[in-house]
Structure formats: structure tokens, C-alpha cells
Amino acid sequence: MKVKAKLKGAVVKVKAMFKSPMAGTEEAEKKKIKPEYITHIVAKHNGKVVYEVSTGAFVSKNPLFKFEFKGGAKGDELEMTTTDNNGKTETKKAKIK
Amino acid sequence: MFKLDRKFLIAGTALALSATMLFSAGVKDALDGGMTYTRADGMYSSYHINEQNLTGINNGRIATANELKAWDLDIMPDGTGLPEGEGSVEDGDELYEAQCASCHGEFGAGGAGYPTLSGGSMESLKNQRTAPGMEAPTRTIGTYWPKASTLIWYIRDAMPYAHPKSLTNNELYAITAYLLSVNEIKIDGVELDDEYVLNREKFLKIKMPNEDGFYPNIDGPDGVENMRKFFADRATNIGAGKRCMTDCIKDAPVMKIGHEITDVSPAYGTTRDLPPKKDKGAVSEVQELYNANCSLCHKTDKMGAPATGDKEAWAELMEKGFDKVVFNAIEGTPNGMPAKGGNVDLTNSEVKKIVEYMRDLSIDKK
């Protein structure tokens, strides 16, 4: 997972790329791999949820997400967590620049 | 004809034999199985030697040391030509976003029509390009490139596309560091985080993931001999010598046409008639001209033109006087009205009729 958060004016612009084959049952069967896709993405700023999204195999491989939120300050920490269909979670913290 | 061929064959064999006897001392086979020619100095070449008399031909002069230096700019894996400087991943991130991301995508993920710089896997390189249900081979810095020196050299000489050679040495190191970090390449076991600063010394320690993925090894003084050894065993190394006509590819999946077109249904028609004309109802000549030439802009006020039927706009327009409006329609205006609506084939009187038609639709009748 790669996360980039930047403060521009009053808005924090976040770009994040997640590493996942995003292969649902059908695609995984074709590729002869285990189904693996991210089902849930949450971004928290100071413990407050600023972005939350449900995803599935319809999203491309190694997907890229962009979003913006207000109220962030330079040096604050943004915590992003992904959960995949196998229950595996991954967390990454990025400092707002 | 047959006899003639045989004659040539025999003559050719005899020639080849005598040639072998003449030049056999110290001459090796050409790498690709072609001819080898000996030179006067005892060396050999794969090119025919031109024995034409060269007196009187001006071959120019030998390049000076400075000229060679100006030309010899490559950055080699051993560090030759590698500039001094340093740059952090964080700086590189900023530079990348400003100068590279528009073409190569965020995090080097591609997608904008220009080469993808990160992602993919080395295993995918072995896959057939069009095989169904398989990841296509993705050749990126992390999966394919054997040497990091090529990366920094290419960025220096050819990037950014719009204004190459505009980056300073420190910027070069910064962008290189960023690209290595998005490809998750470690230097000396150290992960490249935001604060990582890349310099010449650290750069020389980089080992790219696919460094050993190329064969035979053509680098160094043994390169030619490695190639010779490789080509000597063609059957194993490049598969030549084995012929296969049926079921040649057994394990790897191969793309096949799923639904071939065997017939067209319904069949193509053979009648040559034009489609029947539709009855348009009662449309006057001027209305037809209006529809063809003016309605595109004047139907609504979306294009900024006074819309037909817009009473306010036309009342304002008519304050100029009808003749002036007709004149403008014929000559065009700087506000966007093209002369005669863009159709020069219209006559002045036709334009006048159209304007009358539009006016009558747009003003209150007294």
C-alpha cells in the first residue's frame, strides 16, 4: 500500500494505491489463483473516519483511489486500513505534508 | 538445370575447402553460423573485407580527445559517467508528481498511454502475451530492468519528454530514488522510505531484481565467448533443430478464436434501391433553408445566438432595423455569426427570406 497525503489550502488531497490482484471467484478460477480482493477501505484522521468505501472484484488490479477532506493539518497522521475477502487487514500511516 | 546446380555445388565445396585450408589457423566460427573473414593483422571479422584501392579517398581525421569526451556520455553499470549528487525520495515524489505523473501515472502505475514504471511481477514475464486467464507480462523497472544505471541515464538524457536534459544531478538522484521506492527495491537491504537520500555511493550498491534474468551474459571480455557457447548448442538454447507440426505447445495455454464467423445472418441484401423517402409534410422552401443552415445555432440560445422564437432577444435585435440585421446575416458579425450562416452558396435574397421567416416567428404580430 502506498499513501500520499498533501495539504493544499484547507483541503487535504489523498492518493492511495493498494496492492491486490482484485480477483473475484470467476477471475481467480481462470487465473488459477485464490480469490483475493479488497472489500473495505477506511481512512481515519485523528481517529475520525474521513473516507470509507466498500469495494469488490469489479475494481481493477492494484487500484488507485483519490479523495479529499477538510480539517487536516500538516504533520497530522492519516491511517488507512484495508480488509480483504480472506479477512486479512493491512494498515498504513502517512503524514500529511 | 540439375547438372548446372551440381556443378556450382561442387565448385563451391572445393572453394570452401581451399578457403578453410588457407585461413584455418586461429579462425573461429562466426557466432551466428555465418562467414568469418580473416584480416591482414591476424584478426578475424564477420564482414567481408573490401580490398578496393583506397588511395585518394579522404577518410577524415581522427577525433580529438575532447570530441570523444563530448560524445561519450553514457552512464555504465560500473559507475562510469555517473554524476555526483544526492536526492531524497520525498523530493523525488514532488518532482515526479509535477513532471512525470501526467504521463506515467501516480506511483508509476501507468494508465495514461505511456510506459508503466512500477507494479507487475517477474513471474509474469514467462507468460504468453495473449494467453487467456493469465497476467500479461509487465515489463517495469522492478520486474525487467537489469541495471539501475540505465534508469538514471535515460532520465538524464530523455526525460521529461517535453524538455529533456533540464534536470540537475540532485533532481536526477531524487527521481531515481522515488522510482526505486515505488518499485519496492531495497538498497543494501534498506527500504527506501521518504527520508532516504540516494547518492552516488549508494547508487552503485543497487542490485536490480531482474539482474540475472538475461542470458547468456554478454558483459565483459568473456561476452563473445559466452555467446558462442550459447549458440553452439542451438537445440537446447533456442530450440532450433526440432520440428513440430502438431500439438506443439502442451503445457502453456494458447489463445484461440472462440467464435469464428462462418455465416452472416441475415444474409446481405441484393437490392440496389435507396431507402424510401419520408413524407416531411408541408415544409416551405425557406423553412428548409432555415433548418439546413441556421437552426444549428439559432434553435436555442445555447450557442449565444438569438434563438428563433425568443421574443425579447428579437425585439432587441430589431431595434437595429431590419435591413441592418439582414446585412449582418449576409456579412457576418465579429460576435460569432458567420457570413450567410457559413453557407456561401446562399444568395442574398435567400438570406433575406430566412431572416424574415425567423423574425416572423419571433415577434408579436400586430
Contact of A74 with chain B, judged by CB distance below 8 Å, is answered with no
pLDDT band at B31 (very low <50, low <70, confident <90, very high): low
Give CB contacts under 8 A, 24+ apart, made by B332-339. Answer: B335/B304, B336/B303, B336/B304, B336/B305, B337/B305
Lowest mean pLDDT among B67-76, B157-166, B206-215, B249-258: B249-258
Q: Using alpha carbons only, give the angle B101, A94, B92 rounded to the nearest 5 degrees.
A: 35
pLDDT at B211 over 80: yes
Q: Using alpha carbons only, give the angle B277, B280, B282 rounded to the nearest 5 degrees.
A: 140
Q: Is residue B120 located within the same domain as residue B186? A: yes
Domains: count for chain B: 3
Query: Which residues in chain A have their CB less than 8 angstroms from residue B93's CB?
Result: 4
Could you give the 3-state DSSP secondary structure of residue A7?
strand
Query: How far is B91 from B178, CA to CA, in rounded Å?
Result: 8
Residue B278 lies in a domain: no
pLDDT at B205 over 50: yes
Of the candidates A2, A27, A30, which has its C-beta nearest B107's C-beta?
A2
- Alpha helix segments (H runs only) across B200-264: 200-203, 223-232, 234-237
Q: Is residue B40 located within the same domain as residue B102? A: no
pLDDT band at B11 (very low <50, low <70, confident <90, very high): very low
Q: Is residue B193 located within the same domain as residue B136? A: yes
Of the candidates A17, A30, A64, which has its C-beta nearest B132's C-beta?
A30
The strand pairing partners of A11, in sequence order, are A8, A70
CB contact under 8 A, B93 and A4: yes
pLDDT at B258 over 60: yes
pLDDT of residue B239: 64
* Dihedral in degrees, nearest 10, Cα atoms B57, B60, B62, B67: -160
Task: List all residues 6 or more positions away from B247 whose beta carbon is below 8 Å from its beta carbon.
Answer: none
Q: Is residue B160 located within the same domain as residue B95? A: yes
CB contact under 8 A, A32 and B132: no
Contact of A70 with chain B, judged by CB distance below 8 Å, is answered with no
Give the residue with greater pLDDT, B93 vs B57: B93
Q: Give the range of the structural domain holding residue A43, as residue numbers without chain letter.
A: 2-95
Domain-ending residue, one of B185, B203, B221: B203
Contact of A62 with chain B, judged by CB distance below 8 Å, is answered with yes
Residue B333 lies in a domain: yes
pLDDT of residue B240: 55
Reported as a single tens digit per residue, the pLDDT across B290-321 is: 888 888 888 887 777 888 888 888 888 888 88
Residue B57 lies in a domain: no
Q: Which residue of B has its CA nearest to A26?
A: B133
CA-nearest of B272, B109, B104, B95 to B177 is B95
Average pLDDT over residues A27-56: 89
pLDDT band at B15 (very low <50, low <70, confident <90, very high): very low
CB contact under 8 A, A31 and B135: yes
pLDDT at B42 over 50: yes
Of the candidates A2, A27, A30, which has its C-beta nearest B182's C-beta?
A2
Query: Which residues in chain A have their CB less than 8 angstroms from residue B132's CB?
Result: 30
How far off is chain B from A81, nearest CA to CA, in Å?
Answer: 19
| Interface list for chain B against chain A, based on CB atoms closer than 8 Å | 93, 105-107, 109, 119, 132-135, 182
Give me the residue label for grid cell 505523473: B101
Contact of A33 with chain B, judged by CB distance below 8 Å, is answered with no
Query: Which residues in chain A have their CB less than 8 angstroms from residue B119's CB?
Result: 62
Give the residue with greater pLDDT, B266 vs B22: B266
Residue B345 lies in a domain: yes
pLDDT of residue B285: 83
Mutation target to probe the B interface, by most B beta carbons within 10 A, among A1, A2, A65 is: A2
Q: Is residue B34 located within the same domain as residue B91? A: no
Return the axis-axis angle of helices B311-318 and B322-331, rounded to nearest 10°.
100
Residue B72 lies in a domain: no
CB contact under 8 A, B107 and A15: yes
CB contact under 8 A, B106 and A32: no
pLDDT at B27 over 60: no
Of the candidates A17, A27, A32, which has its C-beta nearest B107's C-beta?
A17
User: Up-side HSE of residue B361: CA atoms within 13 Å toward CB?
Assistant: 16
Task: List all residues 6 or more positions away from B286 whose beta carbon is below 8 Å from its beta carbon.
Answer: B350, B353, B354, B356, B357
How far off is chain B from A17, nearest CA to CA, in Å?
Answer: 8
Domains: count for chain A: 1
Task: List all residues 6 or more positions away from B127 whose beta carbon is below 8 Å from its beta carbon.
Answer: B134, B135, B136, B137
pLDDT of residue A28: 85
Q: Give the range of the structural domain holding residue B146, as residue numbers without chain letter.
A: 86-203
Query: Which residues in chain A have their CB less than 8 angstroms from residue B135's CB?
Result: 31
Query: Which residues in chain A have their CB less than 8 angstroms from residue B182's CB?
Result: 2
pLDDT of residue B243: 67
Average pLDDT over residues B188-215: 86
Contact of A30 with chain B, judged by CB distance below 8 Å, is answered with yes
Q: Which residue of B has its CA nearest to A14?
A: B106
Q: Is residue B91 located within the same domain as residue B16? A: no
Of the candidates B93, B109, B182, which has its C-beta nearest A64's C-beta?
B109
Residue B294 lies in a domain: yes
CATH number at residue B167: 1.10.760.10
Residue B326 lies in a domain: yes
Of the candidates B119, B132, B133, which has its C-beta nearest A62's C-beta?
B119
Of the candidates A31, A32, A62, which has its C-beta nearest B109's C-beta?
A62
pLDDT at B21 over 70: no
Q: pLDDT averaged over chain B?
A: 80
- Report the percentage of chain B scoring pLDDT > 90: 8
Query: Which residues in chain A have their CB less than 8 angstroms from residue B134's CB?
Result: 31
CATH number at residue A52: 2.60.40.10
Query: Which residues in chain A have their CB less than 8 angstroms from residue B107's CB?
Result: 2, 4, 15, 17, 64
Residue B273 lies in a domain: no
pLDDT of residue B47: 79
pLDDT of residue B334: 79
Q: Is residue B116 located within the same domain as residue B188? A: yes
Q: Is residue B126 located within the same domain as residue B199? A: yes
Reported as a single tens digit per residue, the pLDDT across B109-122 is: 887 788 889 888 88
Domain-ending residue, one of B182, B203, B224: B203
Reported as a single tens digit per residue, the pLDDT across B173-183 is: 999 999 999 88
pLDDT at B18 over 50: no
Mutation target to probe the A interface, by most A beta carbons within 10 A, among B90, B107, B194 is: B107
